């Protein structure tokens, strides 16, 4: 009996500590070319945790490690919505392709939490229509503060009522309480910045009562900065005037300094901020200002050094480095990483087989939009022009090897190159090493004759920068091409851009602008 009891305890412990989330469901009226992605809404990297395909009937299933219990973004067909997930859950999601994920039904372990969220968002939408924020914003401070206290009390009462009805998890209830505080804090910040100009009193200064209310709302600063990106935006808005003064005073005579460098220096002067807050704020600024596809190589190196030296949290550091590789590509000049690849006949293929000759890596999947109409015709021309001086390796990242064989035989028939498969698709060894995600497919990377990275990751074969690199590696000179010759594939959502709207399904009582 003791043995079975011990096994039960061990099993329960493992299940309760699991980060794995299992999702499955059906989207009726969907297209088999569409994919479902889950992204951690409060993370700094905002890279997809999983990219799931749908079968011909709209069924899908998959699992991923949830970095933490909290809000996650569902991406589908260019639309987004939020869902609250916890590690160890089994979740069933169903919806219609025309409205998913804006509308969907959840059953399974996540039902109670998300019923609570849906009800709270409905209340906010209704409540927001009854609050006359312009009047409050334009009124005197005492009336404004009274209004804010009432809004906070009304929302919290609704949260408590819904908690009794839906019994959400402790973690979600804590998040929602903090979310209410952040909503009020942003309204306070908006009033403080705009009231002077609106009232004709540019010398307006917030009173002690106003500041005390802010302090009262910020009793869990680290918790809010970890889980609510809107709070990070609030902190950045509050410190913007001070940062601008610092930047003006410390950038004189300096050229080429990045926003991230200046902000990292500025944060070292902020003794009132915890290291946790500094890590999240610096990561936010780097993602916004300096991690983009066209970031110059010199700046990429600068950002990497800042990540290594100034970010202390190991998870944030790792997420930022992954994001940098995904957006800007591997560092030019470093050895191209080997990865597990297989040919159609199952034989292993090594990238090092190309050593002595430059080559292009072409990452693609059958579900990439417009690939046959836009990408492949241009690829064929590129291959035909450069094939005497370089090799081409076509890396398929479909979900199965059977789909790889089918796709490569039909899509790339007659184009000179080596067709290989990354086992596991977007979860494959090569996809992880080269930072390949669904939002940047198809994409291209050039490797030089010595096996070193020679370019950033490109999503458009018509870019002049890519043509220049190809010419340099081969000694050939390509004719001028229209940079729009290849329809721009859907760099479907630049992860850095997701930082700008981290709470899309969490309406405030009313617009603040």
Residue 258 has pLDDT above 60, yes or no: yes
> pLDDT value at position 286?
96
Mean pLDDT calculated for residue range 391-397: 99
What is the per-residue pLDDT across 219-248, written as a single tens digit (0 to 9) for each?
Answer: 999 999 999 999 999 999 999 999 999 999
Mean pLDDT over each residue of the chain, to the nearest integer: 90
> pLDDT value at position 255?
86
User: Using CB atoms within 10 A of its CB, is residue 77 exposed (0-12), middle (13-18) or buried (19+)?
Assistant: middle
Domain positions in the chain: 2-109, 110-219, 228-328, 341-492
What is the per-residue pLDDT across 269-298, written as a single tens digit (0 to 9) for each?
Answer: 999 999 999 999 999 999 999 999 989 989
> pLDDT value at position 457?
94
Q: How many CB atoms lie within 10 A of CB 405?
A: 17
The CATH number of the domain covering residues in 341-492? 3.40.30.10
Residue 505 has pLDDT above 70, yes or no: no
> pLDDT value at position 268?
97
What is the per-residue pLDDT across 440-499, written as a single tens digit (0 to 9) for each?
Answer: 999 999 999 999 999 999 999 989 999 999 999 999 998 775 555 554 444 444 444 444
Residue 162 in 3-state DSSP?
A: helix
Mean pLDDT calculated for residue range 246-262: 92
pLDDT band at 199 (very low <50, low <70, confident <90, very high): confident
Residue 290 in 3-state DSSP?
A: coil
> pLDDT value at position 446?
98
Is 202 or 102 the better-scoring residue by pLDDT?
Answer: 102
Farthest-apart Cα atoms in the chain, separation: 80
Q: Cα separation of 14 and 397, whole Å?
A: 32
pLDDT band at 68 (very low <50, low <70, confident <90, very high): very high
Please state the pTM of the whole predicted model. Answer: 0.88
Q: How far is CA 449 from CA 101, 379, 466, in A?
A: 46, 20, 16
Is 440 or 509 the better-scoring residue by pLDDT?
Answer: 440
Domain 2-109 has CATH 3.40.50.170: no
Could you tell me what percent of the chain has a pLDDT over 90? 82
> pLDDT value at position 491?
42
Q: Cα separation of 58 and 426, whole Å?
A: 20
CA-CA-CA-CA torsion sign (240, 244, 250, 256)? positive
> pLDDT value at position 6?
42
Given strand 20-28, what is the order of strands in its sheet? 59-65, 20-28, 90-96, 105-108
Mean pLDDT calculated for residue range 22-27: 98
> pLDDT value at position 484?
58
Task: Tell which phi-psi region holds residue 58, choosing left (phi > 0), alpha (psi between -120 and 50) or beta.
Answer: left
């Amino acid at each position: 009996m003791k043995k079975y009891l011990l096994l039960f305890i061990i099993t329960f412990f493992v299940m309760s500590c699991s980060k794995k989330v299992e999702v499955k469901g059906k989207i009726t009226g969907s297209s088999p070319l569409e994919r479902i992605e889950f992204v951690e809404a409060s993370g700094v990297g905002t890279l997809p945790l999983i990219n799931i395909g749908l079968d011909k009937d709209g069924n899908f299933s998959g699992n991923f490690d949830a970095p933490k219990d909290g809000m996650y973004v569902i991406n589908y067909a260019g639309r987004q919505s939020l869902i609250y997930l916890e590690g160890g859950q089994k979740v069933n999601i169903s919806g219609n392709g025309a409205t998913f994920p804006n509308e969907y039904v959840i059953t399974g372990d996540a039902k109670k939490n998300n019923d609570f969220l849906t009800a709270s968002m409905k209340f906010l939408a209704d409540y927001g229509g009854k609050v006359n924020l312009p009047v409050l914003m334009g009124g005197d401070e005492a009336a404004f503060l009274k209004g804010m206290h009432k809004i906070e009390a009304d929302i919290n009462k609704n949260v408590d009522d819904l908690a009794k009805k839906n019994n959400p998890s402790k973690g979600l209830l804590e998040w929602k309480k903090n979310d209410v505080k952040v909503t009020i804090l942003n309204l306070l910040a908006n009033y403080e910045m705009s009231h002077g100009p609106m009232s004709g009193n540019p010398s307006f200064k917030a009173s002690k009562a106003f500041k005390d209310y802010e302090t009262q709302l910020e009793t869990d600063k680290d918790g809010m900065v970890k889980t609510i990106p809107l709070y990070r935006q609030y902190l950045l808005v509050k410190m913007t005037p001070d940062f601008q003064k610092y930047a003006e005073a410390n950038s004189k005579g300096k050229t080429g300094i990045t926003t991230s460098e200046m902000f990292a220096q500025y944060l070292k002067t902020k003794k009132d901020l915890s290291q946790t807050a500094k890590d999240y704020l610096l990561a936010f600024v780097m993602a916004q200002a300096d991690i983009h596809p066209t970031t110059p190589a010199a700046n990429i190196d600068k950002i990497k050094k800042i990540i290594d030296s100034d970010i202390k949290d190991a998870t944030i550091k790792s997420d930022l480095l992954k994001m940098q590789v995904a957006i800007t590509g591997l560092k030019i000049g470093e050895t191209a990483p080997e990865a597990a690849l297989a040919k159609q006949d199952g034989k292993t293929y090594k990238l090092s087989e190309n050593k002595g000759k430059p080559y292009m890596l072409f990452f693609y999947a059958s579900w990439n939009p417009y690939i046959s109409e836009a990408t492949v015709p241009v690829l064929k021309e590129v291959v035909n022009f450069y094939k005497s001086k370089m090799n081409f390796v076509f890396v398929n990242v479909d979900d199965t090897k059977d789909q790889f064989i089918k796709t490569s035989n039909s899509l790339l028939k007659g184009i000179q190159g080596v067709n290989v498969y990354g086992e596991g698709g977007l979860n494959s060894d090569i996809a992880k090493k080269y930072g390949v995600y669904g939002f940047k497919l198809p994409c291209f990377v050039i490797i030089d004759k010595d096996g070193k990275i020679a370019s950033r990751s490109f999503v458009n074969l018509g870019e002049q920068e890519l043509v220049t690199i190809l010419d340099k590696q081969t000694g050939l000179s390509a004719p001028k091409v229209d940079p729009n010759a290849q329809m721009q594939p859907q760099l479907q959502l630049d992860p850095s851009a997701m930082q700008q709207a981290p709470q899309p399904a969490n309406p405030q009582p009313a617009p603040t602008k």
